[in-house]
Structure 1
Amino acid sequence: MRCVMSLLTITLISSILLSLFPQTPAAYGPLNYACCVKYTRNPLPFGVIKGFIEQSSREVCRIDAIIFFTKNKKKVCASVEDQWVRAALAHLRSKITKLTEKRAPRLTTAAGLKRMIHTTTKTP
Structure 2
Amino acid sequence: MAPRVAPLLALSLLVLWNSPAPALGGANDAEDCCLSVTQRPIPRNIVKAFRYLLLKDGCRVPAVVFTTLRGHELCAPPDQPWVDRIIHRLKKSSAKSKHHSTRGSPV
Q: TM-score range by the shorter chain?
A: 0.5 to 0.7
Q: How many residues align?
A: 89
How many Å separate the matches in 2 of 1:77 and 1:68?
6
- 3-state DSSP of counterpart to 1:58: helix
How many Å separate the matches in 2 of 1:41 and 1:70?
17
How many Å separate the matches in 2 of 1:93 and 1:78?
17
* % identity of equivalent residues: 21
Change (3 A) 1:97 1:49: same
Identify the residue that residue 56 of structure 1 maps to in structure 2: 54
Compute the displacement of 1:37 (Å): 2.4
Identify the residue that residue 70 of structure 1 maps to in structure 2: 68
Compute the displacement of 1:62 (Å): 1.2
Choose from 85, 88, 100 the match for 1:87.
85
Residues 1:22 and 2:19 are matched in the alignment: yes
What's the C-alpha RMSD, in Å, of the aligned pairs? 3.0
The 4+ residue runs of structure 1 with deviation greater than 4 A are 28-32
Change (3 A) 1:37 1:30: closer
Report 1 or 2 for greater relative contact order, CA contacts < 8 Å, sequence distance ≥ 6. Answer: 2
How many Å separate the matches in 1 of 2:56 and 2:28?
17
TM-score, normalization by structure 2 = 0.67
Choose from 32, 38, 41 the match for 2:39.
41
- Please tell me the residue identity of whatever aligns with 2:38: T
Greater helix share, 1 or 2? 1
Change (3 A) 1:101 1:74: same
TM-score, normalization by structure 1 = 0.59
- Please tell me the residue identity of whatever aligns with 1:71: L
Gaps of 5+ in 1: 1-15, 107-115, 117-124
Change (3 A) 1:32 1:62: closer
Deviations 1:27-80 (A, max 9, x none): x74798231122101111111112111102112211221001112332111112
